[in-house]
Amino acid sequence: MEQALSEAAKAGDRGEVPVGAVVTDASGTVLAACGNDMQARSDPTAHAEMLALRAAAQRLGGKFLPGCTLTVTLEPCPLCAAAMSLFRIERLIFGAYDPKSGGVEHGPRVFDHATCHHRPEVVGGVAERDSAALLAKFFKSRRNSANSAGR
């Protein structure tokens, strides 16, 4: 989770929503580490999870990630949860819960549907305070900047 938090902080420094994701193999080797990059790429699907999953699969030379763990600082959205199922991630570890946009423990709960072909093990709330603090700081600075500009 430390590396995911580091990726999230770097994303925040670039003006991206501070979310970071890391894919590790069964031995714990890091296959990919990414932060959100939607603004720079002008791509609404350039979530940290999507980028990390794609990079890990490319590194392994296949389309599936069996035995791999995705660690991410925020509960994945429905898009990312569906992608995890398609990549066949073995385990998902996430930090902060996302009652508004989450797709695992909140919202559509993607892995709970009968149509979900692969369900990873899910562990939520890991380093939740640190993950939530990064997000809160980012959005507070955005609100302060918007308020200052409006004066």
Known catalytic residues are 49
Q: What are phi and psi of 5, to 5 degrees?
A: -65, -40
Containing 148, the helix (H) or strand (E) segment is: helix 128-149
String of DSSP letters for 61-74 = TSS--TT-EEEEEE
Indicate the DSSP class of residue 17: -
CA 76 → CA 37, 80, 105, 115, distances in Å?
15, 6, 9, 18
